[in-house]
Structure 1
């Protein structure tokens, strides 16, 4: 059911699937439980590119031909989802481990994949559709141990799908954010940092277009019930977008592989990725084009790099860029849990080490809450945080740094070598970070982490880890 050669695996290298995944994500977010979980726990608003890369990495692990890697990823995903449970604003409970909810996530991926083929002029034959459905049910079975929450056949699937759309989906805040705010305000990926004018100009065109195309592809009955606008010409625009995406399959394979694209976008132009360095060499020419764009548009000029020359940032900037991982304007446990989740995912930690890391971040949250939550509302505002700066490197934060070093130092030699460093930071050593023996000592690691997390340092390897979108 999995591995190279399966349809499930092939989807992840099909450029059309990007449109299908956006559509599926909107349908997921319209489910009240999923919508609440996204709003309160997800980083998709503040860190969309990081979320995209992590999703691609997870799908690669699940769709590969190594069953051991797949079982390990299933265990990691189940631990992650088990931590996502609470109640939404109206007091309704949500739980990311709810079997019905997980079945709906897989259902939207299958239905959107079928729709992708239909809208791009290549509808699946019945036998192929049955094969695809069997693979998606196998994916659910790998996660839950049982695919019984999805109907056994495609023929029985469609009444189930229509029933959920009619009876359970709502006009949720998360769905509206994805459709109308995420694309319109999507930050530049790390590779394009320093080119905000050019990025904003392109986003101003592409963002609304993606929103129109996605809305037009949704089930008509749901569009009407949710009050989503029907833009004139949207159906033709949607068909054209899917057909254009389908044509990219004739490009060389390396150009359209999703993992290559996401890795490149996540790279820093100043990093050590050869492809990123090649792109970086073109940035001067792109800046010249950006100068022309500024003459033709009212967009603000590119920021002066000298503004951050001292490596420091304001408390408000640090709060927004680093601490507020969910982008809701406050610091609370889901923000620190998102940091722990990112670290655990990068390091591919097993359960004991992952629990140690989460426990350390939970201790830091209790310390922050006690010290900064002056109005007692259970969260920390940007104003409360700024009023307490700069004395935030307490014992709990030191504990986080120590635990992070321990789980990064996989061989236990009390040094972070080049391989361990790259696993965490996805980049090579900086020249000023290694000792005389070419490694990163515990003391230096802890010191740099504390300097960053207390908001004092800007130019450290932790910026791409926590601050990049």
Structure 2
């Protein structure tokens, strides 16, 4: 989102017809990785980078409920991402819903300039941030860097998701080389240590806020329990979020990153990768991702059976024998 002096009334709500949109292939690397429970912190790194763009940070600071309901916001964000990747036709409808949901998010910033959540530059940046953070997370999630073919596949699916969520594609990078220049420009000229980004990093290291529905009489003891119980997950979330950031992004935020933290992050994810090799998928994937993958596997098994023989033997004249 770039700054504008007048309300943005020209940006169309729907940027792509259904026929222009390609869904994420169920056997893609994107579909294999996104549904894992522990892929969430990678999304956290992308979210922090998003709000470092001033207009996004301003709009999120004004409208988001991440302060009062951080868990609920996170759950709903994950729900949306899972639908983009595993929802089939529902992915397209979710993209339209998101676009419509963001249209009313307009305001004047501290300088009195009008800003809109649907400004193309910012709307593009929201999806673009997923690509560098995913690539950087390769050594953690698969134990090595993604090779060139895998990088191309991830980039291809990033552009597919951009269209799914109705991102205007004019000016969006069309190749990894273009993306490198695009990303460098944002890091060097556009991103700032926005207060919302710093607040998010602080929030990752604090006990999760309890829902307001929790009775006051038990709020204090439950808060203490939550603070203790959440330490391992909070540590994983913070280390992964900061660890997959470009060093230049950490520098903008004023966040230090030590060799010890890097080793701790690598040890944690080594254990996670080992667990994934022995645990059933039902325990490592979000439900929608798990069932979508099982559905695809069942269809593929049926296709393999078809190649081994037909239900009917066909005679030479083309009629069932």
Change (3 A) 1:209 1:242: closer
Q: 1:257 and 2:285 equivalent? A: yes
> 1:45 matched to which residue of 2?
67
Residue 164, structure 1, aligned to residue 186, structure 2 = yes
Range with bigger deviation, 142-151 or 172-181: 142-151
Kindly tell me the number of residue pairs found equivalent between the two proteins: 260
2:246 counterpart residue number: 219
- Calculate the TM-score normalised by the size of structure 1: 0.50
Q: Deviations over 1:432-458 (max 9, x none)?
A: xxxxxxxxxxxxxxxxxxxxxxxxxxx
Contact 1:61 1:70 in 2 (8 A): yes
CA contact (8 A) 2:59 2:106 kept: yes
Equivalent in the alignment of 2:110: 89
Q: Equivalences for 1:23-422 in 2 at 5 Å?
A: 23-64=45-86, 66-67=88-89, 69-120=90-141, 121-144=143-166, 146-188=168-210, 195-204=222-231, 206-207=233-234, 210-231=237-258, 233-250=260-277, 251-259=279-287
**Distance in 2 (alpha carbons) for counterparts of 1:248 and 1:125:** 23
State the TM-score, normalizing by the size of structure 2. Answer: 0.72
The CA deviation at 1:170 is: 0.4
CA distance in 1 between partners of 2:253 and 2:79 (Å) = 33
How far is 1:41 from its partner? 0.4
Deviations 1:156-184 (A, max 9, x none): 21121122111111001111111013441
SS of equivalent to 1:144:
coil
Structure 1 stretches lacking a partner, 5+ long: 262-469
Alpha-carbon distance in structure 1 between the residues aligned to 2:178 and 2:283: 38
Distance in 1 between residues matched to 2:121 and 2:255, nearest whole Å: 26
Give the match's secondary structure for 2:107: strand
Cα displacement (A) at 1:53: 2.0
The answer for the alignment partner of 1:346 in structure 2 is none
Query: What is the CA distance between 1:255 and its match in structure 2?
Result: 1.1
Give the Cα–Cα distance (whole angstroms) in 2 for the partners of residues 148 and 178 of structure 1.
Answer: 30
